[in-house]
Amino acid sequence: MTPILRRNNVTVVGEGTTTIMLAHGFGTDQQVWHLIVPHLKENYRLVLFDYVGSGHSDKQAYNEARYGELDGYAQDIIDIADELDLADFILIGHSISSMIGLLVTIKRPELIRDLIMVGPSPIYIANEDIPNLFKENEIEALIEMMERNFSEWTKTLAPIASSNPDRPELSEDFEKRLLHNDAKIIKKFAEVTFYIDLRQELSIPTTPTLIFQTKEDNISPIESGEFVHGNMQNSTLIIMEAKGHNPHLSAPEELLTGINNYLQERNEGK
Catalytically active residues, by annotation: 95, 217, 245
Task: Output the CA–CA distances (angstroms, integers) from residue 37 to 10, 41, 218, in the order listed.
Answer: 14, 6, 26
Reference 46, options 56, 36, 32; nearest CA is 36
Dihedral sign, Cα of residue 191, residue 193, residue 194, residue 195? positive
Strands 19-23 vs 11-13: parallel, antiparallel or unpaired: unpaired
Closest CA to 18 of 35, 2, 40: 40
**Chain-centre distance for alpha carbon 47:** 14
Q: Do 116 and 262 meet the contact criterion of CB atoms below 8 Å apart? A: yes
Amino acid at 259: I
Residue whose C-alpha is closest to residue 199's, from 236, 225, 228: 228
Q: What are the residues whose beta carbons fall under 8 Å from the beta carbon of 218, sequence distance 6 or more?
A: 160, 161, 163, 244, 245
